[in-house]
Structure 1
Amino acid sequence: MLLDHIFICVDENAPEADELVFLGLAEGTPNRHRGQGTANRRFFLPGVMLELLWVADLNELQSATTRTLGLADRFAARKDGGSPFGFVFKPKNPRIGNSCPFPFRSYHPAYLPETLDMKVADATPRIEPLYVFIDFLPASCSTAQHHPCGIERLTSVHVTFPAQGAPSPVARMIDSLPGMSARVGREHLLELCFDDGKRGVRHDFRNRLPLIIRW
């Protein structure tokens, strides 16, 4: 499987996104997830879409359908040390029907046709990111934008979470993917590296976001 996008649960209207724009990342079009109760500001980066996600309608978020996704628990858990991250994966080759590689529950959001679903990893502790597999997404990403800061290629993704025990089987699976690691650490932190960090630029957003970007 391949990484498609990462979301970070943030405050309403995602004021944190302004720092990303100031750094030199071009912001894409925002989106409102009808029936799911969330909205976003997003950045189509080389190799991954970064989504800053917030609660737009609490009733929709807590509905029976959306509870399957588990986002309401994720937003609530932010105050108790839960992970603010979600990782969304796709198959390497959708045409040959790559199946979801982990046990899952099906989520049928209102904004998708009834025949399509998202596969949400089962029994994942809230201290870890939410893991989702979407089997109908194309393998290639054609939405990446030009960014004034000059990044061109995603070379690594690292996420840590302060779990007390061993990582879940899904986390261990992700840790084995090329260019990715998902491991126990001191804090919830996402680090994205572009172009092998050759320019020596490192920006730490932890005053607003649990995020470090290097290029």
Structure 2
Amino acid sequence: MEFELDHLFIWTDVGAYEAERLVSFDLVEGTSNTHPGQGTTNRRFFFHNAMLELLWVHDPEEAKSELIRPTRLWERWENRNHGVCPFGICLRPALSGSNTVAFSSWAYHPPYLPKTMSIEVGKNSDVLTEPWLFQTPFGKRPDRYPVEKSQPLDHGIGLREITRLELVSPAANEPSPELQAVVDTKQIKLRLGTEYCVELGFDGEVLGKQVDFRPQLPLVMSW
């Protein structure tokens, strides 16, 4: 079974002012959405095959509620600048609607989804030095969204598809079985580094260009 990168999220300050750096880089921002009952809100940037999400907690009480507590989302956001991995990585099956999951997981039923739908969360969700891993069986490429959910995909800088996601992590030498399983799908690479960072490569990186959004965002883009 093959898997694809659905989206990457980065924890940010409330309001994700960090997104302005991406806008000034000539990326076109898509719509924002809120996750009722989970206590989180985002700002989003869509590419043809995947999405970049800047995420924050807007309602601590919801994020710390009994239903949401097992996700550890509150602790991850609160400690994003204090040794906790500030990323989440979402996969989707290449064959839409498949129930096969890339890693050992548990079913998360967030309040904002219909009761019959769930998100599969990696069993490493308590390992706060690793990304929050999850998979959506209903995920689609943004360029295949239905018309009523379509998002802007044409960016002034010309980036089209994410072709590399490399996670730089102080904990890269001892990945959990779940993180190793994601690496084994070939959708992400893992590299040891002193600080957390994600490198996103676009369109095969044939132009040899790069922009570093640190320190505002732990993000480097190459194309």
CA 75–140 in structure 1, closer or farther in 2 if over 3 Å, else same = closer
The whole-number CA distance in structure 1 between the counterparts of 2:53 and 2:140 is 18
Q: Which consecutive unaligned segments of at least 5 residues does structure 2 have?
A: 145-150
Residues 50 and 142, structure 2, Cα contact 8 Å, conserved in 1? no
Residues 50 and 141, structure 2, Cα contact 8 Å, conserved in 1? no
Q: Compute the TM-score of the two structures, normalised by the length of structure 2.
A: 0.89
Q: Compute the TM-score of the two structures, normalised by the length of structure 1.
A: 0.92
Provide the residue aligned with 1:200 in structure 2.
Answer: 208
Provide the residue aligned with 1:29 in structure 2.
Answer: 31
The whole-number CA distance in structure 2 between the counterparts of 1:50 and 1:118 is 18
CA 117–196 in structure 1, closer or farther in 2 if over 3 Å, else same = same
The whole-number CA distance in structure 2 between the counterparts of 1:15 and 1:140 is 24
The whole-number CA distance in structure 1 between the counterparts of 2:154 and 2:124 is 38
1:182 is displaced (CA, Å) by 2.4
Q: Residue 136 of structure 1 aligns to a residue in which SS?
A: coil
Q: 1:141-200 CA distances to partner (integer Å, 9 max, x unpaired)?
A: 434610000112222111121117511112222222335202332221101111222222
**RMSD of aligned residue pairs (Cα, Å):** 1.8
Provide the residue aligned with 1:134 in structure 2.
Answer: 136
Residues 6 and 140, structure 2, Cα contact 8 Å, conserved in 1? no
Mapped pair 1:92 → 2:94: yes
Q: Which consecutive unaligned segments of at least 5 residues does structure 1 have?
A: none
Q: Which amino acid aligns with 1:64?
A: E
Provide the residue aligned with 1:116 in structure 2.
Answer: 117
Q: Residue 23 of structure 2 aligns to a residue in which SS?
A: helix
CA 23–79 in structure 1, closer or farther in 2 if over 3 Å, else same = closer
Give the alignment partner of residue 170 of structure 1, picking from 178, 184, 196.
178
Q: 1:4-51 CA distances to partner (integer Å, 9 max, x unpaired)?
A: 011100001000000000001110011111111010110002322000
The whole-number CA distance in structure 2 between the counterparts of 1:109 and 1:154 is 27
Q: Which amino acid aligns with 1:93?
A: L
Provide the residue aligned with 1:105 in structure 2.
Answer: 106
Counterparts of 1:39-188 in structure 2, within 5 Å, are 39-95=41-97, 97-124=98-125, 125-138=127-140, 141-142=143-144, 143=151, 145-163=153-171, 165-178=173-186, 180-188=188-196
